[in-house]
Structure 1
Amino acid sequence: MARQDSPQSAVPEKAGRIAQMRQIFTTARAVDPAIGWWMLLALLGVTLVGVVVGLVVGHPVYAGFLGLMFGVLAAMVVMSRRAERAAYRSIEGQPGAAGAALSALRRGWYFDQQPVAAEAVRPGDLASAAMVFRATGRPGVVLVGEGPSSRASRLLESERKKVARILPGVPVTVLRIGDDEAAVPVRKLANQIRRLKPTLTKEEAAQVNKRLKALGGARPPIPAGVDPNRVRMDRKAMRGR
C-alpha cells in the first residue's frame, strides 16, 4: 500500500519553514535594522493597490484579499533581497570573504572555502594576508584573490601560471575582490562569475576539478589567525532568493 503523509507530518515541516524565515529576518536585521520597515512598506503598498483596483472594478473585498496575498509575497521578496545584501555586508573586508562569497554559486561549480594559496608578511598580521581561492566550472578555472592589491595580484599571477602549466588549453579567469577600480566588490563576485561564457562540457569541468584536486594535495599554510571557514555566507538567505 502506498504510504500517505498524515496531516501531523506536515506541521513540523511548516514550523521549520517559519523558524527558518524568522532566523533569516533576525540575522539580516542585525546588519540592516530597516529591513522590517521595508517589508511593511511592500506589504501595505501592494495591498493598497489591490484595494484600489477592487474599488475600480467593483470587487473591493476580493481584490483586497488578493492584494494582501501578493503583499505578503512582496514582503518576502524584499526580505530575501535585503537579507542577501546584509549577508555580503557582514563578510565584506574579512579574511576569507572571497571563499565565502563563492558559496553563492549554483550547481555545476566546484569550489572550496579554503584558499589554494596564501601569504602574509608576518604571522598573525591579517592586514598583510593575501589569499587566492579557486572555483571550477564550465567557463574553466576561476582564481579569486583578496588582500593588499599588489601582493594579491602577484599571488594570483603565480597561481594562474601554475594552473596554465598543469591544464594547457583550459581557460583561466583571474579576479580580485576589493574597493578599488580594478577589483570586483564581494557582493558582485558570484554574479560576475556566472556571466562567464561556458567553454567546457560538464564532464570536462568535473575532470578539470579532479585534476586540480589530485595535484593540489598540499595546502598552503594559512596565516595565523585566518580561518576562512568562520567567514560564511548565510546560505538560508541565499536560498530565499
Structure 2
Amino acid sequence: MAPADSPESQVSSRADAKAELKKLRARQKADQKEKKARKKAKPSQKEGLFSRLKQVFSMTRAHDPNIGWWMALAFLVAFGVVALLVGLLLNTLTGVLVGLPVGVLAAMFVMNRRAERAAFARIEGRPGAAAAVLGTLRRGWVVTEEPVAMDQKTQAAVFRAVGRPGLVLVTDGGTQAVRKLVQKTRKRFTPILRDTGVPIHVIETGNGDGQVPLPKLTKEMKKLDKSLSKHEVSALEKRLAALPISRPPVPHGVDPYRVRPDRKAMRG
C-alpha cells in the first residue's frame, strides 16, 4: 500500500475531489431546472383556476341567469361597507385596498352557494340524489354511501346518517313505497337503540307537504337538537356498522342459479 503522502494517494484524492465537484454541480443544475419548471408551471395553474371558475360560472348561469347580478351586488355591498369603515378609521386609499379583496370574496361566496343550488336542482328527482347531498355534510356526521333499504321497483331508498342529533333516516323518492321502507327500517333499528336512548329522526326529501327540498336538506339536519357527544357518535356508528346488511331481493327475470359467483369472495 502507498503511504498517505505518496504521489499516487494525492492523485487519487484529487480525482475524488473532482468527482465530488462534478456531482455537486450536477445537483445545482438539476435544482435550477426544477426552479425554472416551477416558475413556468405557475401561470398554467392560474389559467387552470380561472378556467374552472369560468366553467362553474357558465354552468350556474345556465340554471340561474341572474347569477352575475347577484355576484355584482355582493361585491358592491361588501366593498362599499368595508371601504367606508376602513376609510373612516384610516384613510380612503387603505379602505379601497382592503375593500377590493373582501368584495371579490363575497362575490365568490355567492357564486359558490348558487352553484351548489344549481347542482342540487340538476340532480333532483334522480335515484341517489339524497345520498349526493348527504355527501356534502362536513365533520360530525357519518353517512353510509349505500342505502340501508331500497325498493327495486320504484328505486326508492332510505339512507342512514349518524351525528350528534342521533340516527337520521333520509328518504330518496317521495312515494308510498319509501314510507313503507322507513317503517321497516325504524322497526329494525328501534330494538337496538332502545336501551341507549338515541333518537331516530326521519327526513323525507321532496317538494311536497312535509317534505324537505334537496338544497335545504343539510340545513334541516343541522337544525336537529344535539343529544350525543362526539364519542357517543363514534360508538353509535360502530354499533350500527356491525349489523348485517339486508341485501335487496333478486330482480324479476334473473335466475339466481345462473348468476356468476364472486370469485374474489370465494378466494377470501
Query: 1:135 Cα deviation (Å)?
Result: 0.4
Looking at structure 2, the residues matched to 42 and 27 of structure 1 have their Cα atoms a distance apart, in angstroms, of 19
Partner of 1:81: 113
Distance 2:89 2:226 in 1: 50
TM-score in terms of structure 2 length: 0.66
Secondary structure, in 3 states, of the residue corresponding to 1:88?
helix
**Aligned-partner Cα distance in 2 for 1:201–1:221:** 37
Cα offset, 1:68, TM superposition: 2.8
| Contact persistence 2:166–2:233 (CA under 8 A) | yes
Distance 1:149 1:32, change over 3 A: same
Question: Could you tell me how far 1:84 is from its partner in structure 2?
Answer: 1.9
Q: Deviations over 1:87-146 (max 9, x none)?
A: 22112222111111111211121112321111144xxxxxx3321111011221110112
Bigger drift between 143-152 and 65-74 goes to 65-74
Percent identity over the alignment is 43
Matches of 1:71 and 1:208, distance apart in 2: 43
Distance 1:61 1:203, change over 3 A: closer
CA spacing shift, 1:23–1:113, aligned 2, 3 Å: farther
Match of 2:189 among 163, 166, 172: 163
The answer to whether the 8 Å contact 2:131/2:159 transfers is yes
| Equivalent pairs, count | 213
Question: Which consecutive unaligned segments of at least 5 residues does structure 1 have?
Answer: 1-5, 122-127, 225-241
Q: Which amino acid aligns with 1:190?
A: T
Q: Is the 8 A contact 1:118 1:222 kept in 2?
A: no
Of 125, 137, 151, the residue aligned with 2:163 is 137
Describe how 1:62-73 pairs up with structure 2 within 5 A.
62-73=94-105
C-alpha distance in 2 between matches for 1:199 and 1:173: 12
SS in 2 for 1:184: coil
Structure with the larger RCO, 1 or 2 (CA within 8 Å, 6+ apart): 1
Partners of 1:215 and 1:59 in 2: how far apart?
Answer: 65
Letter of the 1:150 counterpart: Q
